[in-house]
């Protein structure tokens, strides 16, 4: 019976089979450039596959003293980012800047994409804070739901009546919603 060993190959160990060389060498030019009598030529008859799988791995462990229970998790799960947590939103700066530039020249800017692709996050956590920072924009947003006119009215009333009590806000939103439904906006 043969004894199996689990020895990992050395990083600089090479195995050749015909015109294919499998190597753990980290220098990509080894076995690729031949120097003969002062001239350099590329050996095009060989295929070289580098195996980095066996590189030495380091494991970093932390102690309980290193852990902070009060850290905020920046990952929103299936929820979109919004203006309140825009500091955690990153990676779409170029797209947000393009949208911002479009607001200077266009009245309508559609943002299209597959469900879950980040459309709401780009607008709410990327574009909106940039527009508010510019100081020339008021912002509100709503989801139409079962009563789209009421949802729209509830989003708009605080913009033109910011100091209303909650009860008065509800009454004004219902009144404006009725105007939207009847197409009788004064």
**How much is the pLDDT for 52?**
62
Instruction: Pick the closest to residue 87 from 68, 98, 72 (CA basis).
Output: 72
* Closest of 46, 6, 56 to residue 22, by C-alpha: 46
**Distance from the first to the final alpha carbon of the chain:** 94
The helix/strand/coil state of 16 is strand
Q: Tens digits of per-residue pLDDT, 3-36?
A: 444 444 444 555 555 555 555 545 555 444 444 5
Quote the tokens at residue 170.
């509800």
**What's the mean pLDDT in 62-83?**
73
What is the rounded average pLDDT of the residues 131-146? Answer: 88
The predicted-structure confidence for 78-121, as pLDDT tens digits, reads as follows 778 888 888 888 888 999 999 999 999 998 999 999 988 889 89
Lowest mean pLDDT among 62-71, 132-141, 151-160: 62-71
Residue 2: per-residue pLDDT: 43
């Amino acid at each position: 019976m043969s004894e199996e060993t689990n020895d990992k190959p050395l990083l600089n160990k090479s195995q050749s089979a015909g015109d294919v060389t499998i190597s753990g060498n980290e220098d990509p030019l080894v076995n690729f450039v031949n120097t003969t009598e002062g001239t350099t030529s590329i050996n095009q008859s060989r295929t070289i596959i580098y195996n980095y799988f066996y590189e030495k791995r380091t494991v970093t462990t932390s102690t309980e003293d290193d852990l902070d229970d009060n850290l905020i998790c920046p990952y929103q799960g299936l929820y979109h980012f919004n203006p309140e947590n825009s500091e955690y939103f990153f990676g779409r700066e170029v797209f947000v800047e393009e949208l911002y530039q479009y607001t200077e020249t266009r009245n309508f800017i559609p943002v299209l994409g597959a469900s879950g692709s980040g459309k709401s996050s780009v607008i709410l956590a990327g574009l909106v804070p940039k527009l508010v920072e510019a100081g020339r924009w008021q912002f509100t947003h709503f989801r139409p739901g079962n009563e789209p006119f009421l949802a729209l009215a509830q989003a708009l009333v605080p913009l033109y009546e910011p100091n209303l009590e909650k009860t008065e806000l509800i009454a004004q939103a219902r009144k404006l919603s009725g105007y939207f439904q009847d197409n009788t906006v004064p």
